[in-house]
Amino acid sequence: MTTSDTQPPTAAAPARSELRAGVISPRKALFFGLSGLALPSVMSGEGGKMALVSGWSSWLAMLLGSAMALLIALVVVRFARRHLATGSLMSYVGIEAGPRAGALTGAALLVGYVAALVLTASISLVFLFSFLRGIGLDVTGGALEALLGTALLAAGFFLSRRGIALSVNSAVILGWSSLPFVVVIMVAAIARHGVDPGPQFALQGFDAGTFTQATVMAFGIYAGFEGFTALAKETQDPRRTIPRLLVTVVATLGVASTLGVFLTLPIMMEHSDELLQGSSPLYILSEAGHVTALGSVLDLLMFVTLLSVVLVYLSEAGRVAATAAESGLLPRSLAAIDARHSTPARAMLLLTGLATGILVAFLTIGQRPIFTIFLSAAAMLSYAWFTAYVLIAVAGIVHAVRNRDLLFGALSLLSAVTTTATAVYSLADQQSGSSLRAMPWIALGAIAVLWLASLAARRARPSTAEV
C-alpha cells in the first residue's frame, strides 16, 4: 500500500494499518540499512569473490558497479520523497508505470529476496566451516551444512517476526559488532603483504566477458539497498529520512567496497585455491597478517553477525511480499499482519521456507561446495535486482516525460541504458562454469513465471487493488 503527494491516500486496509508508525529513528535506520548490506563482510570478502571471476580488474568492476548503484539511488530518491510505500520499488513502479509493470517489479523483488537469503546463509556457512578448519576440525557433509543453514534462517525468522523494533536493534548490534576486528585484520594483512597496484592499474589479464560478469556481481552487493523504503511507514519523518539514507548507504558502501577490493585483491589472487577449498577471505587475510587466532575467532563471529543480514532481508522482504499479496501477486492470506507483533509473519515464513528449501537442495541433492552455492546465489540475486532496477529507471523516464523534467529524465535514461546494457552483455558473453551460466536464466525464468501467474490471478479477480 502507498500514499503519495500526487494523489489522495487510499483507505487503509486493516492488515496494513497494524504496522506501527514512527518506531525507527533516522540513526537506527541508517545502521539497519548498512547492516543489511553486510558492510564488514563486503569490506573483507568481496576481493576474494571477485578475484575468482575477473582477477586484477576486479577493483574497476566494483567501482563501475557502485556508480551504477548510485544512479539507481538517485532515481529512487525522487519516488521516496513523493510516495510512502510498504511495497518499495514494486509500489513506486506500480504508481508511475501501471499495475502490470508493478507486478513484474514485485516478481523480481521476491525472487531476489529469496536468492539473498540463500546467499546470506551460504556466506555464513563459509565462515563457520572456515572457523572449524582453523581449529583443526575437518568437518564436511551436506547434511550438516543444511542443518546449520536451516537453523540460521529459522533464527532469523523467529527474531524478525517478534517485531520491527527487535529486528532493528538486533541487526544493528550483530551487524556492527565485528567491524573493529575486521579492520584490525585487514590492516595487519595489508601492512605485511603490501598492495601491489601495478597489475591492477594495468588491468592485467583483462577479459571483457568476465569483467562484465564481475560488474554485475559488484552491482549485486547493492541488491536491496532500497529495501528500507518498505519500512517508510515505520520510520520517523520518512519523506526526509529515507531519501537521505538511500544516497548515504550507497556512497558509504561504494567507498568501503572499492577500497576493500583494491587493497585485498593481491592477497586473494595468491590464495585462490584456498578460496575454492572453502577458506573464508577473512581467514586468508588473517593468515597474511599473522593474526590467525583472531581470524579464526572472527570467522565464528561473522557466522553470527550474518544473522543481522537475514533479519534485515526478512523484515524488508516480508513487507514487500505482504503488499504483493494484498495486490494479488501472491495469495491474499499472506497479506495478514500478526496482531501481537505487528509483522507480516506469514509472508516472512513463506520466504524463509523457500530459501531453506533451495539451500538444502543445493547442499544435499546437488552436493555442491558452499562457495559455489554462494556464487550461484549471487548471480541469481544480481539478475533479479537488475530487472527491478531497470524497471524503476523506466518508471523514472515515464515520470519525467509526464512532468516534463528533462534533468531527471536524462538521469533515468542513463541509468536504464547502463543497467540494461551491462546485464544483456553479461548474458550474451558468459565465460564462467555451466552452473553459473544457468543461474541468470533460472532467475529470469522464475520472475517470468511469477509475473504471468500474477496477471492470470488479476484477471480472475478484477477487484484487486493496485500495487
Name, in order, each residue with C-beta under 8 angstroms of 265's C-beta and a sequence gap of 6 or more. Answer: 47, 50, 51, 56, 58, 59, 200
Q: Which residue has the cell 546437488?
A: 366
> Contact at 8 Å (CB) between 355 and 117?
yes
Q: Report angle CA 432, 434, 439 to the nearest 5 degrees.
A: 90
What value, to the nearest 5°, has the Cα angle with vertex 277 and ends 367 and 120? Answer: 65
Find the helix packing angle between 370-403 and 99-134, rounded to 10°: 150
453 Cβ neighbours under 8 A, 6+ residues apart? none
358, 32, 425: which is closest to 219 by C-alpha? 425
For 223-234, the DSSP string reads: TTTTGGGGGGGG
Asked if residue 105 lies in contact with residue 94, where contact means CB atoms within 8 angstroms, the answer is yes
**Residue 24 DSSP label:** B
Q: Which residues pair with 7 in a beta bridge?
A: 4
Is residue 141 classed as helix, strand or coil in its secondary structure?
Answer: coil
Residue 5 lies in a domain: no
Task: Report how far residue 64's alpha carbon sits from residue 119's, in angstroms, rounded to the nearest whole number.
Answer: 22
Number of domains in the chain: 1
Does residue 270 lie in a domain region? yes
Count the Cβ atoms, other than its own, within 10 Å of residue 445.
Answer: 12
Tell me, yes or no, whether 326 lies in a domain. yes
Q: Which amino acid is at 301?
A: L
Alpha helices per DSSP H over 83-207: 89-97, 99-134, 142-160, 164-176, 179-193, 198-201
Helix crossing, 164-176 with 307-327: angle to 10°?
Answer: 150
Q: Is residue 10 part of a domain?
A: no
Q: CB of 48 within 8 A of CB of 284?
A: yes
Q: Which three cell numbers stand for residue 288?
A: 597474511
Per-residue pLDDT of the chain (467 residues; tens, 9 = 90+): 454 444 433 333 444 445 566 667 777 777 777 777 778 878 888 888 788 888 899 999 999 999 999 999 999 999 988 887 767 788 889 999 988 999 999 899 999 999 989 988 888 887 888 777 777 776 666 778 888 888 889 988 888 877 666 666 666 777 677 788 888 889 999 998 888 888 989 888 888 878 887 888 888 888 878 877 767 677 778 888 888 888 898 999 999 999 999 999 998 888 878 877 767 788 888 888 888 777 777 778 878 778 878 888 888 888 888 888 887 778 888 888 877 777 888 888 999 999 999 888 888 876 666 667 777 787 888 889 889 999 999 999 999 999 999 999 999 999 999 988 888 887 776 554 445 677 788 889 999 998 998 888 777 765 444 45
Q: In CATH, what number is assigned to the domain containing residue 430?
A: 1.20.1740.10
Rounded-to-integer distance, Cα 412 and Cα 400, Å: 8
Contacts of 223 (CB under 8 A, 6+ apart): 112, 116, 381, 382, 384, 385
pLDDT for 429 equals 65
In a domain, 466, yes or no: no
Residue ranges of alpha helices (H) inside 25-84 are: 26-36, 39-54, 58-82
In sequence order, the β-bridge partners of residue 4 are: 7, 83
| Segments forming the whole domain that contains residue 45 | 20-456
Question: Residue 456 and residue 368: Cα distance in Å, rounded?
Answer: 36
Strand partners, 83: 4
Residue 162 CB neighbours (<10 A): 16
**54: which 3 cell numbers?**
575477473
CA atoms of 15 and 86, how far apart (whole Å): 12
Task: Give the Cα separation of 434 and 270 in Å (integer).
Answer: 25
Residue 235 corresponds to which cell in the numbers above?
Answer: 520510520
Residue 448 is assigned to a structural domain of this protein: yes
**Burial of residue 336 (number of CB atoms within 10 Å: 0-12, 13-18, 19+):** middle
Domain-located, residue 467: no
Q: Distance between the two ends of the chain, CA-based, in angstroms?
A: 7
Evaluate whether residue 7 is within a structural domain: no
pLDDT of residue 72: 92
Integer CA distances (angstroms), 394 to 97, 106, 381, 418, in order:
8, 15, 20, 12
Report the pLDDT value the prediction gives residue 12, as an integer from 0 to 100: 38
What is the H or E stretch that residue 348 is in?
helix 345-360
Q: What is the DSSP letter of 465?
A: P
Confirm if 77 and 247 have CB atoms less than 8 A apart.
yes
